[in-house]
């Protein structure tokens, strides 16, 4: 356990950041899975309707630093390509 005041504060900040990062990663992954599942079932219209939500989560995660901007761009491009093919 941290002993100094600054170490205690750093631990508190780290826990808060970790919770935020996990929240964004979970939302991205859940939305990605939902979109893939819908496209496999042949419901491409519903999958395309979820695409803006996926983009929103990815962009926000990139903005706050959970993922880097190039990775966010790759994720968005990959998802768009997979929906265009199906």
| pLDDT for res 40 | 92
Cβ atoms 82, 54 nearer than 8 A: no
pLDDT, tens digit, 9 for 90 and up, residues 13-58: 999 999 999 999 999 999 999 999 999 999 999 999 999 999 999 9
pTM to 2 decimal places? 0.86
Domains, the chain, ranges and CATH? Answer: 7-85 (1.20.58.110)
| pLDDT for res 41 | 92
Residues in the chain: 86
pLDDT, tens digit, 9 for 90 and up, residues 44-56: 999 999 999 999 9
Residue with tokens 């599942």: 37
Phi, psi of 59 (to 5 degrees): -65, -40
| pLDDT for res 85 | 82
């Amino acid at each position: 356990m941290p002993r100094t005041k600054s170490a205690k504060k750093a631990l508190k900040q780290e826990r808060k950041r970790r919770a935020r990062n996990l929240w964004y990663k979970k939302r991205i992954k859940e939305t990605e899975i939902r979109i893939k599942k819908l496209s496999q079932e042949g419901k491409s219209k519903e999958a395309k309707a979820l695409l803006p939500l996926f983009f929103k989560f990815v962009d926000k995660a990139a903005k706050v630093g959970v993922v880097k901007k190039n990775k966010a761009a790759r994720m968005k491009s990959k998802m768009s390509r997979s929906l265009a093919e199906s």
